[in-house]
Amino acid sequence: MIFEKNFFLKLKILKFWTIFEKKIFVFFQKKLSKIIVFYIFLHRNIIVKKKTNFFFFNFFLKKKKLILKIILLKYKKMSVPKNLKYTKDHEWVLIDGDNATIGITDFAQKELGDIVFIEIETEGEKLEEKEAFGTIEAVKTVSDMFMPISGEVIEVNPLLEEDPSIVNNDPYNKGWMIKITISNKNELENLISPEEYEELTA
């Protein structure tokens, strides 16, 4: 009798997981990874009909919790500070009078992966909007970084050379890229709001 009660309790838990699983699947439908496919495969192929299946059901129920934790850690909600402006190229801009600080977003650094090298040799140069101001190298890719607005590069973050991973760890504070003097404030209208950026990366 104790076994039967535990068994049916597990079935109730499974029903809860099935409902919760659908919500997870909808959330990750645009970012379906191999681990999610494996997770759903396990659930759909384990049907508890007999007592002999109880051991396997109990084993995979525990594994599902672990898999869910991995999924949530991998795709946790991206940080989008409300005091910044953004571009569709996944850069952020902090406006401070006639100057601005520029960096890449949390979404961008997660997409790049582990950053190993950053090259910015444009200090003192006047660059136009959309012009490349540097490159960023991750383990699997190299990408240009573009000026969100026109301006003169007046400072490059000195911490980037000795520790590029600071961009992964703190993209909005210590991991900033450059500071510029703004040439054309009308171009600020081309930047998007935090809400629009959240929608873009959803």
In a shared domain, residues 61 and 93: no
In a shared domain, residues 108 and 146: yes
For residue 198, pLDDT beyond 80:
yes
Instruction: Please state, as a whole number, how many other Cβ atoms lie within 10 Å of the Cβ of residue 48.
Output: 18
pLDDT band at 68 (very low <50, low <70, confident <90, very high): low
**Structural domain includes residue 79:** no
- Domain closes at, from 74, 105, 132: 74
In a shared domain, residues 132 and 67: no
0.85 exceeded by the pTM? no
Q: What is the DSSP string of 33-99?
A: -HHHHHHHHHHHH----SGGGHHHHHHHHHHHHHHHHHHHHHTPPPP--TT-EE-TTSEEEEEETTE
Task: State the pLDDT at residue 172.
Answer: 97
Task: State the pLDDT at residue 33.
Answer: 47
Q: What phi and psi, each to the nearest 5 degrees, are found at residue 182?
A: -70, 130
- Domain closes at, from 52, 74, 96: 74
| Domain ranges, residue 172 | 85-201
CATH code of residue 144: 2.40.50.100
Tens digits of per-residue pLDDT, 37-64?
A: 444 444 444 444 444 444 555 555 566 5
